[in-house]
């Protein structure tokens, strides 16, 4: 039986921690709610488990608590956001809000991000845009965590891609995926809990496959040993579109997320929003997504739409609470003591 905590008290505690290290109230609330939402989806690699990492970087100054974020429009449909080493989730919300505004005014909005940090689960930004009737795309890169196809050591990041579309009479269609077999944060969670990694997802220092999270030094690209050229190619494109296009370093030149805690990340990202009404089939796009969902539901088997497992998990966790393992609870207790706050109250989970 694991411990659990309900979403709202967890978000309130997380906000208090972020305020205690110097974040502005609105930014602290936005970040806390985003982390809890990610955990509600069951994306534990990017949810509240990452809070203590952000707190450490905010305390050290490698993420600024109160950055001077600026947005410069470079054309009727384009803009560049200078993040000033701000917290990546806060930055990404602002970037997608700008892309949405541009798309609503001119049909498309494309916003690049310069000098940011880890921005968490990309669905945090694409799902809200789709709920406003837009098509949304998001890309970001990270430091070297993944070996190229036929390679033996890390070169690219997990470099995720997210796409969301509106759906009539139902939740938005949402794809959010890493270009690696698993995200690196899942390795970090496994190191904390002692879990074993799935087969064929990670390599050790010698370039050999490993299921030992402590020994893992690189992830395989999406597609594994035989078909990893697909994930490898996607990772390369995402790196170039997120990094150099927006005056950020290439992924292999970025600071290590977990090892170089005093060095700013200099991460980039790219957010695009489209108004489907500007295209021939746009007025009926949401209905087409709904028809596809209905057709898939009638197919043999138990096919789900991308994003549906996260919504199913959210319903469970809003009812039963967000699970918290013992090691994570200890991290939270340590930070609570460090910041002079009461530790979050946990309860026993369901049998």
Q: Which structure tokens are listed for 277?
A: 């009404």
Angle (nearest 5°) at CA 23 between 21 and 29: 115
CB burial of 25-44 (b: ≥16 within 10 Å; e: otherwise) equals eebbbbbbbbbbbbbbbbbb
Written as six digits, the tokens of 179 are 């270009």
- Does the annotation mark 118 as catalytic? yes
Bridge-based pairing of strands 322-324 and 70-73 is: unpaired
Catalytic residue among 118, 141, 229, 246: 118
Kind of pairing between the strands at 161-165 and 135-140: antiparallel
Residue 313: both structure tokens together: 């998990």
- Cα atoms in the Cβ-side hemisphere of radius 13 Å centred on 116: 30
Q: Rounded to whole angstroms, how far apart are CA atoms 278 and 110?
A: 16
Q: Which two tokens stand for residue 136?
A: 């949304």
Return d(Cα 125, Cα 120) in angstroms, integer.
10
Cβ within 8 Å of residue 259, ≥6 positions away: none
State how far the Cα of 327 lies from the Cα of 96, in Å rounded to an integer.
34
Cβ–Cβ < 8 Å for 225, 151: no
Radius of gyration of the chain (CA): 20
Query: Which residues are known to be catalytic?
Result: 118
């Amino acid at each position: 039986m694991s411990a659990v905590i309900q979403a709202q008290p967890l978000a309130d505690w997380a906000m208090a921690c972020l305020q205690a290290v110097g974040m502005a109230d609105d930014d602290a609330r936005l970040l806390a709610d985003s982390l809890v939402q990610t955990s509600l989806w069951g994306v534990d690699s990017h949810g509240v488990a990452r809070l203590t990492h952000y707190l450490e970087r905010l305390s050290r100054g490698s993420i600024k608590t109160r950055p001077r974020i600026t947005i410069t429009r470079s054309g009727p449909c384009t803009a560049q956001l200078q993040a000033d080493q701000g917290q990546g989730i806060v930055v990404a919300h602002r970037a997608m809000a700008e892309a949405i505004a541009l798309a609503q005014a001119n049909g498309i909005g494309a916003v690049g991000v310069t000098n940011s940090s880890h921005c968490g689960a990309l669905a945090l930004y694409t799902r809200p845009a789709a709920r406003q009737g837009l098509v949304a795309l998001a890309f970001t890169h990270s430091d070297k965590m993944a070996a190229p196809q036929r390679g033996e050591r890390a070169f690219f990041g997990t470099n995720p891609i997210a796409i969301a579309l509106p759906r009539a009479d139902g939740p938005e269609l949402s794809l959010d995926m890493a270009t690696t077999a698993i995200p690196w944060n899942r390795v970090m969670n496994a190191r904390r809990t002692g879990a074993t990694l799935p087969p064929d997802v990670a390599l050790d220092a010698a370039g050999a496959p490993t299921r030992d999270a402590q020994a893992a030094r690189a992830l395989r690209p999406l597609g594994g040993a035989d078909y990893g050229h697909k994930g490898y190619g996607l990772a390369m494109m995402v790196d170039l579109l997120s990094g150099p296009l927006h005056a950020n370093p290439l992924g292999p030149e970025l600071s290590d997320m977990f090892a170089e805690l005093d060095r700013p990340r200099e991460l980039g990202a790219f957010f695009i929003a489209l108004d489907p009404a500007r295209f021939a089939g746009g007025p009926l796009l949401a209905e087409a997504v709904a028809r596809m969902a209905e057709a898939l539901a009638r197919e043999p088997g138990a096919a789900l739409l991308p994003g549906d497992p996260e919504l199913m998990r959210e319903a469970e966790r809003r009812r039963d609470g967000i699970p918290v393992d013992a090691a994570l609870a200890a991290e939270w207790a340590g930070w609570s003591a460090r910041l002079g706050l009461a530790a979050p109250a946990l309860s026993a989970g369901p049998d």
